[in-house]
Amino acid sequence: MRNKRRKLIAVVLLALAALVACILVFPNREPAWQGRTLGAWLRDFDADKPESRASAADAIRQIGTNALPLIIKRLQHPGPRSSSTILALKLKLFELLNKQSLVKIQFRPGASPRHEALAAIDALGPAAANALPTLEKLLHENPPDPRAPYLIARIGPEGLPLLRQALTNENRIVRTEARVCLDMFNSRSEALFPGDAIDAASFDRRICEFNLRMVQAAFEEYKRQHPEKLLPKNITDMPPPSEIPPGFQPSSRPPANQTSRPRLSSPPAGPDNYE
């Protein structure tokens, strides 16, 4: 009995020793480049300087697919909300915008693990294909992440089946985003396929361009569905009045200090016109 207990204690001690050895020999399994860890490069996507964000994009491309496990983990993070006054004003603005039915805009703070992960996927492009299942889940969040379709399109042909499937998504905005992304992909839009290495790091700017295309697409869809509510493009396009008041005398130069109201001709003076 004592021998069995001693053997059990010896096995436990040996396992603990092996665990400590692994920790000492392999203290950090996170990928690194130029002496900085992947996490440090990811945080640079929230930097104010464009040069820092560009360097982060280049570092992610150098690390390659080894960065995907940590990127996918951050992609699942919803991201904290700041309590600053500026953010509070932005949230109030978006709350007002969400009250109209033309297009719904979902505001998400930029400085967050998810933003960093999305920017990293943008930098990897087709090499981030293993992140597609996680990106698809973002389309079914409540509310869906409006940046997910753009990143799916950035991955390339492997993401096209997800975009075509999103055309039947239960959310109208996701359907419109999928259609816009497919149009951008087929037309080789520069907003989706930046032409040079410097522009390739401008993730935030290209997301803004995508949002603008979304608003335009939503407005065109609204016009098709409600042609009777359209306003004239210019004030000169307004139709002439159906009736002109009798005695109206149009004048291109109204008298000074007088309002330009229609002038009605008065009936001739006579005894019957006075009380």
How would you write the pLDDT of the chain (275 residues) with one tens digit per residue?
Answer: 666 666 666 655 566 655 544 444 444 578 899 999 999 999 999 988 889 999 999 999 999 999 999 999 999 877 444 333 444 444 455 455 555 555 555 444 445 899 999 999 999 999 999 999 999 999 999 889 999 999 999 999 999 999 999 999 999 999 999 999 999 999 999 899 987 655 666 899 999 999 999 988 888 888 888 777 655 555 455 455 555 455 545 555 555 555 545 554 545 555 444 44
Buried b (16+ CB within 10 A) or exposed e, 104-141: beeebbeebbbbbbbbbbbbbeebbbebbebbbebbee
Strand-pair partners of 33:
36
Neighbours of 8 (CB within 10 A): 10
State how many domains the chain has: 1
At residue 148, φ and ψ (nearest 5 deg) are -60, -45
Tell me which residue range forms the domain holding 69: 39-78+108-228
Residue 160 covered by a domain: yes
Residue 19 covered by a domain: no
Strand-pair partners of 36:
33
Hey, which bits of the chain come out as E strands? 32-33, 36-37
CATH code, domain carrying 168: 1.25.10
Residue 44 covered by a domain: yes
Residue 157 covered by a domain: yes
Residue 181 covered by a domain: yes
Residue 251 covered by a domain: no
Q: Using alpha carbons, list the distances in angstroms from residue 82 to 45, 76, 101.
A: 17, 19, 27
Plot region of 156 (φ>0 → left; ψ -120 to 50 → alpha; else → beta): left
Question: What global pTM score does this model have?
Answer: 0.64
Residue 28 covered by a domain: no
